[in-house]
A and B are shown apart, each in its own frame.
Chain A
């Protein structure tokens, strides 16, 4: 059930990113919304549940993009691993540190993107995203990121609650 909810969220995020954002003209200035979901999964959800979703999300975005296949997959995968590695040392919850962590996450995503593009498109101009835009995206995620994360958390909590109810009814 939780996997189905995550797949649904992946679709929604991909559609918002490729249809709504271009329509509003904020594709460049606003941060990559699926990145926030990857950060959320890395910070708050277990590996077994998160890893297939991260791979699926990368696959969907790669399919919608005209770029080389595997770029998004690699970016999200390494971002997820980095977050997973860092929470061994940092204890992060829904607290005042969260906006900073998310901003650093967006910075990390852009850094990984640059590395991946350097491998795939060596002739491409440097950098793929100007620093001014990266700063703007960090500012956006600093302000709005925690609220979006609350939506993810609410969805998962509802799902966990239904799952618990379902198992309770079955077991008697």
Chain B
């Protein structure tokens, strides 16, 4: 009744429809992690780790032995910067002490103590549509889903999946990432979301707030994930439309996500409210 060719065409169309339905369903539960997923990461990650260490070893040899000339020049500059930093550090210590005294006077609670766990980046997301990294610390090291990941320059992202010795980190430049944030200068609040081009958007910033290019955006700590006061980025573009109550603000992150090698996982105390693994 039906030719072989027709059955083949119908089969392919059916397969295509099933594929679209499955992808649509999976797309909605994007961050759900299954057992086989974790198994695959555990299988691949040790080799990624070995390769990463080998590459760094070769690079370190290159830097140590063949780049000594530039290192000497850099050393002089860094010595000068160190002196400046020491002076600045001294000032900061004074401010910290006076801050502690004032907090004591006002009977403020001390900020939440933060314990951090250093980790190495061993793999980067192969896709262009998702911004995640794989680090070499997992549930065996006390890492849990929802913990924040930082570097001295600012926030990197948060843990979205944990294997025994490895974890996946969703970076703040991913379009699915959101951080409750505020401007350091005037405390105007908004949500920092990842854009498609490697920058971020400072969403829900009210038009009434005066935002300037160069303003620093910091975490507000109100999302219960990221500690308060961590740097996110600098405002680089502001668009105030004629209509609407919000303005469009582009933020360029302080962290160079292309060059991250080591990160710090903020190990939160139990009452911090990180999600347990399903």
Chain A nearest CB from B231 CB (Å) reads 23
Distance in Å: Cβ of A124 to nearest Cβ of chain B: 7
The CA-CA distance from A134 to B34 in the complex, in Å, is 32
Q: Mark B23-52, 1 if CB is under 8 A from A, else 0.
A: 110110010001011001101100110011
Partner of A74, one of B23, B36, B40: B23
Q: Say yes or no: A120 contacts B124, CB within 8 Å.
A: no
Residues of A within 8 A of B34 (CB): 69
Q: Report the Cα distance A78→B44, complex, angstroms.
A: 25
Interface size on B (CB < 8 Å)? 40
A6 to chain B, nearest CB (A): 15
Counting chain B CB atoms within 10 Å of each CB, the highest count among A22, A25, A81 belongs to A22
A130: min CB distance to chain B, Å: 10
B127 at the interface (CB under 8 A from A): yes
Residues from chain A with a CB closer than 8 A to the CB of B60 are none
A68 x B30 contact (CB < 8 A): yes
A72 contacts across to B, CB distance below 8 A: 126-127
A119 to B18, CA, bound (A): 12
Assess whether B182 is interfacial by the CB under 8 Å rule: no
Report if A15-B44 is in contact (Cβ < 8 Å); known contacts: A70-B26, A125-B196. Answer: yes
- Verify A67–B30 contact, CB threshold 8 A: yes
When distances are taken between beta carbons in the complex, the residues of chain A under 8 Å from B123 are 18-19, 22, 64
Q: Does B102 contact A (CB under 8 A)?
A: no
**With A11-B47, A120-B26 given, is the CB distance from A66 to B160 under 8 Å?**
yes
A61 in the interface (beta carbon within 8 A): yes
Taking a contact as CB atoms under 8 Å apart, the answer to whether B44 and A66 are in contact is no
A68 cross-chain contacts in B, Cβ below 8 A? 23, 26-27, 30
**Neighbouring A residues of B258 by C-beta, 8 Å:** 22, 25
CB A80 to nearest CB in B, in angstroms, measures: 12
Chain A CB within 8 A of B212 CB: no
With A15-B47, A68-B27, A71-B23 given, is the CB distance from A63 to B40 under 8 Å?
Answer: yes
Q: Which of B86-94, B129-137, B138-146, B265-273 contacts A (4 or more CB under 8 A)?
A: B129-137
Shortest beta-carbon distance from A16 to chain B in Å? 8
CB of B55 within 8 Å of the partner chain: yes
Within 8 A of B (CB), among A54-113: 59-72, 74, 77-78, 81
Which of B22, B40, B160, B258 has its CB near the most chain A CB atoms (within 10 A)? Answer: B40
The answer on a CB contact under 8 Å between A27 and B124 is yes
User: Is the beta-carbon distance between A121 and B27 smaller than 8 angstroms?
Assistant: yes
A-contacting 9-mer, from B107-115, B168-176, B220-228: B168-176
A11 to B50, CA, bound (A): 13
Chain B, Cβ-Cβ closest to A66 = B132
In angstroms, Cα B196 to Cα A128, docked, is 8
With A66-B168, A124-B175, A125-B196 already in contact, the answer to whether A19 and B26 are too (CB < 8 A) is: no
| Interface residue ranges, B against A (CB under 8 Å) | 12, 19-20, 22-24, 26-27, 30, 34, 36-37, 40-41, 43-44, 47-48, 51-52, 55, 122-132, 134, 160, 168, 170, 174-175, 196, 258
Q: What 8 new A-B contacts, CB under 8 Å, besides A64-B126, A120-B27?
A: A11-B47, A14-B126, A22-B258, A59-B36, A66-B131, A67-B30, A72-B126, A119-B20
Q: Which 5 A-B pairs have the closest CB atoms?
A: A66-B132, A63-B40, A67-B130, A120-B27, A22-B124
